[in-house]
Structure 1
Amino acid sequence: MENRFIRAEEVADELGVSKPYAYKLIRQLNEELKDKGFITIAGRVNRQYFNERLYGVRKEGN
């Protein structure tokens, strides 16, 4: 089963950016989630939300 959260190292690899910039992106995405009332984990972001915000991809079904 795929992990529900993506960490800074994976974000950096996927986007070809530095780890500090990946952490900055994660903080931004987590702030958006907090504003929507979700609980967040520092240094990690929900993988599905990451894909939606960066690629406009939504998982069909469920």
Structure 2
Amino acid sequence: MSNFFYTAQEVADLIGVSKSQAYIMMQEWNKELASKEFITIAGKVSKKYLQEKIYGYSDGKEAI
């Protein structure tokens, strides 16, 4: 199941921010997901959602 989520350290390494900044960003993203009635896990963020938020990908396609 961990294949579906990034940890704060992985997010920090991936996007080049500190681990504490990654936690802050992840909390915001998880709040957004929770408001859409998705289940979230503290300290982790969906890989798919991170790709949408950071890279603009949605369903494997780049946003225009």
TM-score (norm 2): 0.86
Q: 1:59 Cα deviation (Å)? A: 2.9
After superposing on structure 2, the runs of 4+ consecutive aligned residues of structure 1 that deviate more than 6 Å are: none
Write the mapping of 1:24-39 to structure 2, written as runs, cut at 5 A.
Answer: 24-39=24-39
Write the mapping of 1:1-62 to structure 2, written as runs, cut at 5 A.
Answer: 3-60=3-60
Q: Is there any run of 5+ residues in structure 1 with no aligned partner, and where?
A: none
Q: 1:52 Cα deviation (Å)? A: 0.4
| Equivalences, count | 59
**Aligned equivalents of 1:12 and 1:38: distance in 2?**
23
TM-score (norm 1): 0.88
Q: Is there any run of 5+ residues in structure 2 with no aligned partner, and where?
A: none
